[in-house]
Structure 1
Amino acid sequence: MSSPFQFLIETLFDLYIMVILLRFLLQLFRADFYNPLSQFVVRATNPVLKPLRKVVPGYGGIDVSSLLFAYVVSLVKYLLLFAVLASAIPPFSKLLLISLADLLNQGISLIFWMILIRALMSWVSPGLNNPIVSVIYQLTEPLMAPVRRMLPPMGGLDLSPVFLLLGLQFTLMAIESWVLSPLFRLL
């Protein structure tokens, strides 16, 4: 049974984890940092990431500090959830695995929703005038281009989002059934 506290904790932490992961993706795909959405993400994450980068630098173009920060926030989320809702906190090793699987799940979900929004926006308004749509295109194109190259031409119809969404949904279901469910059953 879900409680209002569980809803509140999960919602607030998940939203912030999504912002941190968005920051990671913005840097990974070198999206426009002067975009209003990008500026919001930078302002929301800089207070922690700026000092953390001095201790945990990037590696090979990958922003390790933002991934570490997202992981720690996910870990704190589960510590709070178990402290509020359960009688005991599970072993720390299980919390580490649950947090890692949750972070992976949220990253894939974020990409899933961006691709879905991009596909819907291409039907409604193919222009890139909206700053949010422009960032979504910048973040999803590196993922969609390889899929598009593998598919034969369909006469102007781009099916790459469909195949990418199927693959992402399969991955989400695999994480849920093969990783998260067994971990929660062991608790």
Structure 2
Amino acid sequence: MNALSGAAIFVVQTLVSLYLVIVLLRFVLQLVKADFYNPLSQFAVRATQPLLKPIRRIVPSIAGLDTSSLLLAIVIQALLMAFVMLFVNLGYTPLQLIIWAIIGITSLFLKIFWVAMIVMVIVSWVAPNSHNPAAELAYQISEPVLAPFRKLVPNLGGMDISPIFAFLAIQVIQAYAMPPLADYVGMPEILWRLI
């Protein structure tokens, strides 16, 4: 791979990944039942609506899950991976590409919760009780992840240490479960570095 193809991969990967985060964020927002009147939620809806509208006609929601957003995220991830594989001249089957895309989406899903918790923790230190749309959304995304840890970890006199255990759990999954899984299904290292 020469410098020009590396630059092309970088530019396309960056732009497509940004849109992919917005699509997956829309899935997460519905999953956690976030406030859809939040300006950031409205942005995610407007940005994804052109591609999701035709998919929604074909793919119904299953058990309250926004399956069309999830399907769109998997398709976008698979197309991005196929684009990269084209540049590095590695072969793959469509089934491999779908499995790799699901692994990529799972990793990105975990990163969205990780970032939301980071924002929530920083805002709780810097500006507690803030009514910033980003802070409120971060809290709404983080709360379902933190709730099980709050049941296990006692409150230490007003100090909530449940994010530490949630960060630890996400990091263990990212570092010790995802790489062996990617290796097991034969995901090339160049694709693993994308996610």
Structure 1 residues 94 and 88, CA gap change in structure 2 (3 angstroms): same
Task: Pick which of 140-149 and 32-41 moved more.
Answer: 140-149
Q: Is the 8 A contact 2:100 2:182 kept in 1?
A: yes
Equivalent-residue separation in structure 1 for 2:28 and 2:121 (angstroms): 19
Where does structure 2 lack aligned partners over 5 or more consecutive residues?
191-195
1:28 aligned partner? 31
1:90 maps to: 92
Partner of 1:42: 45
Deviation at 1:89, TM superposition (A): 3.4
Partner of residue 143, structure 1: 145
User: Is 1:74 aligned with 2:80?
Assistant: no
Answering whether residue 181 of structure 2 is matched by residue 184 of structure 1, we say no
Partners of 1:43 and 1:142 lie apart in 2 by: 25
1:122-174 CA distance string (max 9 Å, x none): 11111231111111111111221221111112111111111001100111113
1:51 corresponds, among 33, 49, 54, to 54
Deviation for aligned residue 1:35:
1.0
Task: Indicate the residue corresponding to 1:19 in structure 2.
Answer: 22
2:127 alignment counterpart: 125
Alignment-derived partner of residue 101 in structure 1: 103
Contact 1:105 1:175 in 2 (8 A): no
SS of structure 1 residue aligned to 2:187: helix
Match of 1:173 in 2: 175
Q: How many residues align?
A: 186
Kept in 1, the 8 Å contact 2:120–2:135? The answer is: yes
The ranges of structure 1 where at least 4 consecutive aligned residues each deviate by more than 3 angstroms after the TM superposition are 184-187
Identity of aligned residues (%): 35
Q: Which residue of 2 aligns with 1:162?
A: 164
Contact 2:155 2:161 survives alignment (8 Å):
no
- 1:175–1:101 CA distance, 2 compared to 1 (3 A): farther
